[in-house]
Structure 1
């Protein structure tokens, strides 16, 4: 290994007194800055400036070690030069923020590789047998002359080199401005005291770099977990996956509009820096992370008999059997010498009756805002109609389903209801799926995990979901809160669970899963609630519904505002700021974006 060059110890100089007076305060100031630093480049510039000031260095730079795909590089992070900044030449921007491989030929590369300082009295006089050399091209490009140089590694307590500090031209007088011609006479070498002091400052800089990299690594880890969860939801269901990516976009748009508000109730709202904004964005991304455990068959239940396949086909087969039985009866009557016209008329009436009855079943199978009471009455009449089953309905089943039948099978053939609510349709709820009281959830837990009863499902009055399935959908909030409150988030993300867990709560206290009231819901949680509802109303990629037009979606939100469910001031801002329009243009289909009557939506108090 080559031995670093060291300057001879010069006699005491007037600038040494300056250095002694400033060293301790500068060190304390930097240590204080490190303790609260969030901006690494700015802190490194401060450390470089202090290092130059303490050593009367005319110029200096800091390089950080980066690793990408197994290859380490040096990143030209900070550069300062008093003489160039004061003159007309300036600093070529192309020289900054560059990255290059770590090689021993470069001075900073040698120090980064070996972890040892270089103290060079004159970089143009490096002996030829040294493995490193000074690249004079940079001097020529900038119109400068480097003479003395001190290159010190930024080494962590573990001995890892995370960067390099380079100080150039230790001036004899603080006020000197150097030119290529005057630099050799106005510059002196760095002495042992300079080197010792800068090594101490470099150690502080290394602490700063290591701390920042640890925080960045922690943030990358959290971001990767968020991406993992969102990706898992997306893989399970493309519909909820797109929801999880669109809601943060809309929530951030509304949050930015709220931050820009200068008057009214929302005027005080501001994120306290990038950390709080990142906390909100994280909560928005994770607001539905509990859906990872929600069965896809429930999330995407497009019709009432989906469980997870549409059992309408099975019921249609029973109608086919009844029609076939009717045709057999007609043919047997003809063979027995019955009246052909009467028999055919009876068969025609049966066929028409069955067609009408099945049309009612099919109609009721589709979820809607309301089911016709006459259709519901007809379904109950059909449940009293029977057909003959000739095959064992228990063979070929899994053991768990077998246990729900109970008792010995009846002898075949068996008369069964056309629409059945059988005991084996009732799936019990395991005790572990009842949340503990300590969580404070207000959702009433149904007795059954699922009820697959055919009549039970077909007579659901609104939509496609049974009470058990509605709970299963809402249960995702229970899982979301339990998951997020169980995660070891750093203090900067401490409110993620609170923000994400409140997007189904309402200001009147009738929401879920905890029934929180207005005083318990933060502005970020209220923003997220509006974003979640609006995205759900306008989403055009759900199998169980079509995306609503813009005007209808906003009218529903206005109704929620009027009932005290969502924040009126935020909804007013949502409209006035045009956030709804910006989102619609980005994410909604063109045929959904219709005319909106803002005056009517804002109401008489607008």
Structure 2
């Protein structure tokens, strides 16, 4: 092949550019690639790309003038100061005096050898720019960018084709125009596809937000959790990705992998949309639709009333009545404290609840004597830790099965195919005693194991739960360390969590100052010092 032929060289560049356009995901970088390729093919000194907006304006996206060292818009980070150009006049008629507007309305390429000698177009703005910048805009090639649906989405304009040997400014040749028209068409299709993909991704993430908003509407206490867990998961995965030594040194993540993990994190509790709100938000042991401690208070008031009646009728002496009242009020205060569920209940505590249940009876609305505490009240008040009964926990735990069922029904694209596995594994344990599948460490991906740690640590430190206060950082790490020793969480990931101070980065962003205390890592249960070469690798 005769590569000295300039037309063949241009065609080769066009083919190379075409292949790269379809793979670029960043819109600004895509615009850079398009314009740089166009200027390279034609050896143009300057160029710009306009995007046609929905309100019928041509908006500058990128502008380059090589001889002036000007690079605005695109990936430059420098905004373009020029306002968008209206393609229609105020009366609605088409604006045809501006060459870029003409190209849109006529769907034609305009090739002008010298703007200063051109007729039919208004180049006053160009001449003013030249005067201010000591420049001479001469040859123009303006090409409409039409996509696969025959829609014009923008305009590409090149200025001053230059002879590579002499530097002389030349008109754009017919061959250059033909190549540029082909490039503009490829660029428009690539740009449209990328915008469509971005909008679909935005739509998908919008659906995720909608699901989380629905859960939040049921329970405001879960909203922070749904947002913090994915961030902490990615923080830990990034720390593992950066580790150059240790057992996880071969783990790597691309930007695509990070996005997939973030999506999984956002969806990890989507099954809670089916969980009854009075279980999710069960702030006290007796809470259901309302806190039933109020019913016990009412029963106590009825007993107190009956004691007062007995005294008045002379069937009970005042000293005995006072003893009974004092005992009842003391027992009621104990039950009110027990109902909070903030402390672990000992056998003695459980026995006292049973004694209180048997100590009193009350007269119900039917006039019948009934036990002070019924079986369900006793069952809830004797929960050893927290506020949930075993039945409540089963209902809560069912959310992960619903999550997996929901996610496995979706037709995930290849780059998101692991979302169900990552999201569905955050309640599994390394020893196979977790749920819902009883997976062991070897059956889980690193990403799913990262999410398991993030879910636990977020829950320990969270201060927006109705049933507990957020634990201090040291206490949370102590519990997490014990969970490592108990084969609950991944030991290697726990080590990275400590070595890379992921907990510190998370705390500085999300924990109030009163929860952040001094950490002596050597005192954390299960702490394993990093290898000697860990921070040097």
**Bin of the TM-score, shorter chain as denominator length:** 0.7 to 0.9
Deviation at 1:211, TM superposition (A): 1.0
Sort the Cα spacing of 1:595 and 1:195 in 2 relative to 1 into closer, same or farther, 3 A: closer
Query: What secondary structure does 1:507 align onto?
Result: coil
Question: Structure 1 residue aligned with 2:167, among 166, 177, 194?
Answer: 177
Deviation at 1:142, TM superposition (A): 4.2
Per-residue CA distance 1:334-388 (angstroms, 9 max, x = gap): 6xxxxxxx72233223223322432343233221443232342343344455322
Alignment of 1:20-169 (within 5 A): 20-67=7-54, 70=55, 72-77=57-62, 79=64, 81=66, 84=67, 89-91=68-70, 93=72, 97-98=79-80, 100-103=83-86, 104=95, 105-127=97-119, 129-130=120-121, 135-169=126-160
TM-score, with length taken from structure 2: 0.87
Q: CA RMSD in A?
A: 2.8
Is the 1:102–1:112 Cα contact (8 Å) retained in structure 2?
A: no
Sort the Cα spacing of 1:280 and 1:542 in 2 relative to 1 into closer, same or farther, 3 A: same
Per-residue CA distance 1:377-403 (angstroms, 9 max, x = gap): 34334445532223xxxxxxxxxxxxx
Sort the Cα spacing of 1:354 and 1:557 in 2 relative to 1 into closer, same or farther, 3 A: same
Question: Structure 1 residue aligned with 2:362, among 365, 383, 387?
Answer: 387
Q: Hey, what's the Cα distance between the residues in 2 that align with 1:59 and 1:278? A: 37
Deviation at 1:214, TM superposition (A): 0.9
TM-score, with length taken from structure 1: 0.78
Deviation at 1:519, TM superposition (A): 1.6
Sort the Cα spacing of 1:44 and 1:351 in 2 relative to 1 into closer, same or farther, 3 A: closer
Structure 2 match to 1:223: 205
Sort the Cα spacing of 1:91 and 1:356 in 2 relative to 1 into closer, same or farther, 3 A: closer
Question: Structure 2 residue aligned with 1:468, among 382, 391, 394?
Answer: 391
Structure 1 match to 2:89: none
Q: Hey, what's the Cα distance between the residues in 1 that align with 2:35 and 2:363? A: 90
The count of residues paired between Structure 1 and Structure 2 equals 514
Deviation at 1:78, TM superposition (A): 5.1
Is the 1:61–1:78 Cα contact (8 Å) retained in structure 2?
A: yes
Query: What secondary structure does 1:558 align onto?
Result: helix
Question: Structure 2 residue aligned with 1:284, among 265, 287, 296?
Answer: 265
Q: Hey, what's the Cα distance between the residues in 1 that align with 2:454 and 2:56? A: 43
Q: Hey, what's the Cα distance between the residues in 2 that align with 1:50 and 1:358? A: 81
Q: What are structure 1's unaligned runs of at least 5 residues? A: 1-14, 335-341, 391-411, 422-452
Q: Hey, what's the Cα distance between the residues in 2 that align with 1:474 and 1:574? A: 26
Deviation at 1:252, TM superposition (A): 2.9
Structure 2 match to 1:337: none
Query: What secondary structure does 1:265 align onto?
Result: coil
Structure 1 match to 2:511: 588
Per-residue CA distance 1:177-226 (angstroms, 9 max, x = gap): 24xxxx3xxx13533x4333321221111111111111111121122223
Structure 2 match to 1:197: 179
Rg (Cα) greater in structure: 1
Structure 2 match to 1:9: none
Q: Hey, what's the Cα distance between the residues in 1 that align with 2:43 and 2:517? A: 68
Q: Hey, what's the Cα distance between the residues in 2 that align with 1:541 and 1:561? A: 25
Q: Hey, what's the Cα distance between the residues in 2 that align with 1:53 and 1:253? A: 41
Sort the Cα spacing of 1:260 and 1:519 in 2 relative to 1 into closer, same or farther, 3 A: same
Q: Hey, what's the Cα distance between the residues in 2 that align with 1:44 and 1:240? A: 41
Structure 1 match to 2:277: 296
Structure 2 match to 1:7: none
Sort the Cα spacing of 1:189 and 1:330 in 2 relative to 1 into closer, same or farther, 3 A: closer
Sort the Cα spacing of 1:167 and 1:537 in 2 relative to 1 into closer, same or farther, 3 A: same
Deviation at 1:49, TM superposition (A): 4.0
Question: Structure 2 residue aligned with 1:540, among 447, 450, 463?
Answer: 463
Per-residue CA distance 1:144-165 (angstroms, 9 max, x = gap): 3222211111101222112211
Sort the Cα spacing of 1:364 and 1:170 in 2 relative to 1 into closer, same or farther, 3 A: closer
Is the 2:64–2:71 Cα contact (8 Å) retained in structure 1?
A: no
Structure 2 match to 1:597: 520
Structure 1 match to 2:535: none
Q: What are structure 2's unaligned runs of at least 5 residues? A: 87-94, 530-537
Per-residue CA distance 1:403-445 (angstroms, 9 max, x = gap): xxxxxxxxx4333222123xxxxxxxxxxxxxxxxxxxxxxxx
Question: Structure 2 residue aligned with 1:572, among 495, 505, 509?
Answer: 495
Query: What secondary structure does 2:185 align onto?
Result: helix
